[in-house]
Amino acid sequence: MDEMLRLSAMPITREATCDTELLGHRIPKGTVVLLLSNGPSFLSPSFEIPESKRSKTSQATRVRQWNEAEDMRAYRPERWLARGEDGEVRFDATAGPQLAFGLGQRGCSGRRLAYTKMRIVLTLMLWEFELLAVPPSLSSYAAKDGLAHTPRQCFIRLGKVKY
Ligand code: HEM
């Protein structure tokens, strides 16, 4: 689920409530800052940023990076898995940057409900069907961004699971 969301996240916005500075750039009060959760660091390698340009809080609480040597646009759920000290492989929600639900006080308040609904829909679907490959001409991540990130191609090809 998180890998699906990582690949289809919407940019989020924040309006500066006072004059401030971001990575050495002056941001006047009232500026709308877009956080591109579908750009560098997420779907392509991050920009090189001198540590001294970061704020003290950013330096103290750095988010882990995705492995940027890999194809960051590829659907690869394994990037969210990590082996613990006990040898078990588990989902690691902090494996890399993810902003699909935003963050902080104005982060998505329907996040838990969204995960619950996605779990129910996916479980019911995978109980009955297997997901077969969709022809490449019908399976791009093309989307229309408005209030939501709406896919242009939302097709699945199902095979009935035989028990
Ligand atoms: C996969 C499903 C969903 C995604 C990806 C999603 C994503 C987002 C994002 C990116 C934001 C902006 C967060 C920010 O600016 O930091 C947001 C805000 C919000 N979402 Fe969702 N959302 C989803 C489902 C839901 C559901 C099911 C509900 C309610 C039942 C919901 C209610 C809200 C509300 C009320 C806000 C505004 C929060 C605020 O401004 O204080 N969302 N959502």
Q: Where are the domains of the chain?
A: 1-105, 110-163
Using the atom order of ligand 1, give the atom closest to the CA of residue 37: 10
Using the atom order of ligand 1, give the atom closest to the CA of residue 149: 5
Position 21 confidence tier, pLDDT thresholds 50, 70, 90: very high
Residue 72 has pLDDT above 90, yes or no: yes
Q: Which of 73, 8, 76, 1 is nearest to 43 (CA)?
A: 73
Q: What is the dihedral of CA 71, 34, 101, 96, to 10 degrees?
A: 40
Question: Is the C-alpha dihedral spanning 2, 77, 95, 116 positive or negative?
Answer: positive
pTM equals 0.89
How far apart, in whole angstroms, are the C-alpha atoms of residue 24 and residue 163? 60
Predicted local distance difference test score (pLDDT) of residue 40: 94
Cα 37 to ligand 1 centre (Å): 14
* In contact, 115 and 1? CB cutoff 8 Å: yes
* In contact, 138 and 155? CB cutoff 8 Å: yes
Mean pLDDT of 13-24: 94
Ligand 1 binding site (Cβ under 6 Å of any ligand atom): 5, 10, 12, 100-103, 106-110, 113-114
Among protein residues, the one whose CA lies closest to atom 42 of ligand 1: 110
Query: How many CB atoms are located within 10 Å of the residue 50 CB?
Result: 8
Mean pLDDT of 94-123: 95
Which carries the bigger pLDDT value, residue 149 or residue 74?
Answer: 74
Residues β-bridged to residue 83: 89
